[in-house]
Structure 1
Amino acid sequence: MNGSTTPTIGRYGVFAAPSRQDPEVRAEAIAELEELGFSAVWAGNSTIEEAAGLVAATSRIVVATGIQGIWHYDALRTAERYAELEAAHPGRFLLGLGVSHPEFIEGYQRPYTAMNDYLDALDAAPAPVPRERRVLAALGPRMLRLARDRSAGAFPYLVTVEQVAAARQVLGEGPLLAPELGIVLKTDPDRARALARGALQPYLRLTNYADNWLRGGFAEDDLADGGSDRLVDELFAWGDDARIRARIEAFQAAGADHVVLQSISRHGPARPPREDWRRLAELLR
């Protein structure tokens, strides 16, 4: 595989949330994902430096940053590190990029222009990052069009089936569409929704996500008090195996090439949810 070909990531990947565990513990967990048959792992809130350690600790699985923010990591350094990583481990890395949120970035403005400029810098680097080896965390139509025109595709996070279909319509045929889907392996509605709300809570206050949900047909009331049952049920898959499989298949029917599965467990980021990953691997067989 050469550096101008998008890595083969299959139909299912796993979102590995940032862990408070030692990096070696996390790398060991990612190695098990490889053994379970997953072809890609999306390393949450990571940089290319962190992803490189996961690539080095495994032998086949593709590692993607999910997502490296453009404000805190220089484009030239990204391109240099990409070239080093590609030389050492060809075809094993996918650069996921995002514009973060105004709540986190001082002086945040013109995110579309900032992303476009960052892509220009990647293209102008002595060793450019090929468009086929980068994806964008795109939600709205404008950023989705940028993902279509200047990258391999889009990695939308916390979206509904209908929003997956809308993203596919903007992207058209060809570009990669790899939406994230939260999975709660609980059948009790109250317990499942409580876990989902715990994961959703930090995002309810972020303008980019709130605007996307409102644009997708939700009301302000759906975003209040931890999120309505409707919002939770549209953004997360929970229940028995058949119900969870049905939601994953709905994402695929809506146009997803690759579904990024994020296990939502009571442990949160305290440790990798390896037991849940094993259950998901069985569920998908």
Structure 2
Amino acid sequence: MDEVTTSTAGHGAPVKEAVGRYGLWSLGLRSEDPARRTEIAEAAAEIEELGYGAVWLGGSPGVTHAVPLLDATTRLTVATGILSIWDHEAADTARDFAAVESAHPGRFLLGLGVSHAKATERYHRPYSAMVGYLDALDAADVPAGRRVLAALGPKMLKLSHDRAAGSHPYLVTPEHTAQARDILGDGPLLAPELKVVLDTDPERARATARAYLSFYLQLPNYTDNFLRLGFTEDDIAGGGSDKLIDAVFAWGDEDRVRAYAEAFHAAGADHVALQVVDDDPQGSIPREAYRRLARLLG
């Protein structure tokens, strides 16, 4: 087993206060299209004004994807959710972190993950690879208190405690959040992602959710986690059972969505990163949905 040294840099109030209770998880806000820079900047400024504490940039972003949002805001925390360690060399990540930190002190959070075997040919011994990556970041003076890990299983959650400020689990339930909190203890940040479908029609909402979930049900990291949580192979088959859909998506009217988001806090989350799922392309920025969520969670 790899030796892991316990961080002395990362736990406690500052990062929790910075991200607040709610943030947004988005693929659209990490676009590389220069023509969309103004759109992204305007959306980021409104997100900050609406009171969200953080934006999590999806799709294995690099550190530099955070710059347009940071430039357009003054308080918003911008995080990678999640930077794949296979796609970005540690030296490059450390260099870019230093540049962003110099320009926007204390406002960038480095989210790291090991991705999936189906996503990269380099995937091998993911836990050991993450330990090595963290060692390289330590050597380059990237503070442990300014990074979080995508952690589903107990071993990676423990590493999130020992070598980072906490964890940002993706595609999880309140039950997983409670288990993660038990492993992390009280200090580290626990910031799960939660998918939201703002549709009150059960059949239509579940169909929207099921279409989005189908991709993730091809990835063993997620399906194995569902099985650990007590779901069955039948729940995972066919795009996901209603039981599974209802566990990993907040859908319905405002009261239902609010109650399920708050269930994550009751289970031990410090912050919940909300991802709006609808019928629009994944690269869109659903600003009206962000306004609705801000009103119902405010």
CA distance in 2, matches of 1:56, 1:32: 13
Aligned residue type for 1:91: G
Aligned residue type for 2:256: R
Q: Does the 8 Å contact 2:84/2:112 carry over to 1?
A: yes
1:153 deviates by 0.2
1:199-218 map, 5 Å = 199-218=212-231
**More divergent stretch after superposition (24-33 vs 198-207):** 24-33
Q: Does 1:143 align with 2:153?
A: no
Select the residue among 14, 19, 37 that pairs with 1:9: 19
1:270 deviates by 4.0
Map of 1:132 onto structure 2: 145
CA distance in 2, matches of 1:24, 1:169: 42
Map of 1:106 onto structure 2: 121
Map of 1:41 onto structure 2: 55
- Same amino acid, percent of matched pairs: 58
Select the residue among 171, 174, 194 that pairs with 1:161: 174
Q: Does the 8 Å contact 2:28/2:282 carry over to 1?
A: yes
SS in 2 for 1:268: coil
1:266 deviates by 1.2
1:1-285 map, 5 Å = 6=15, 8-18=18-28, 22-45=36-59, 46-125=61-140, 128-285=141-298
Aligned residue type for 2:113: G
* Structure 1 residues 90 and 113: CA distance shift in structure 2, 3 A: same
* Structure 1 residues 166 and 265: CA distance shift in structure 2, 3 A: same
Aligned residue type for 2:56: W
CA distance in 1, matches of 2:261, 2:100: 32
SS in 1 for 2:239: coil
CA distance in 1, matches of 2:144, 2:248: 29
**More divergent stretch after superposition (102-111 vs 26-35):** 26-35
* Structure 1 segments of 4+ aligned residues over 4 angstroms from their partners: none
Structure 1 residue runs of 5 or longer lacking an equivalent are: none
Q: Does the 8 Å contact 2:86/2:122 carry over to 1?
A: no
- CA deviations on 1:10-36 (whole Å, 9 max, x unpaired) are 100111124666233223212211111
Aligned residue type for 2:67: A
Query: Once superposed, what is the RMSD of the aligned Cα atoms?
Result: 1.5
CA distance in 1, matches of 2:288, 2:295: 11
**More divergent stretch after superposition (7-16 vs 272-281):** 7-16
- CA deviations on 1:62-103 (whole Å, 9 max, x unpaired) are 100001000111111111111111111111100000000000
Aligned residue type for 2:251: W
- CA deviations on 1:199-229 (whole Å, 9 max, x unpaired) are 2111000010011111111111111111100
> Number of paired residues?
281
1:248 deviates by 1.1
- CA deviations on 1:111-144 (whole Å, 9 max, x unpaired) are 000000000000011xx11001000000000000
Q: Does the 8 Å contact 2:28/2:284 carry over to 1?
A: no
When normalised by structure 2's length, the TM-score is 0.91
Aligned residue type for 1:108: Y
Aligned residue type for 1:24: T
SS in 2 for 1:224: helix
CA distance in 2, matches of 1:111, 1:197: 28
CA distance in 2, matches of 1:94, 1:67: 10
- CA deviations on 1:246-281 (whole Å, 9 max, x unpaired) are 111110010000011111111131420111000001
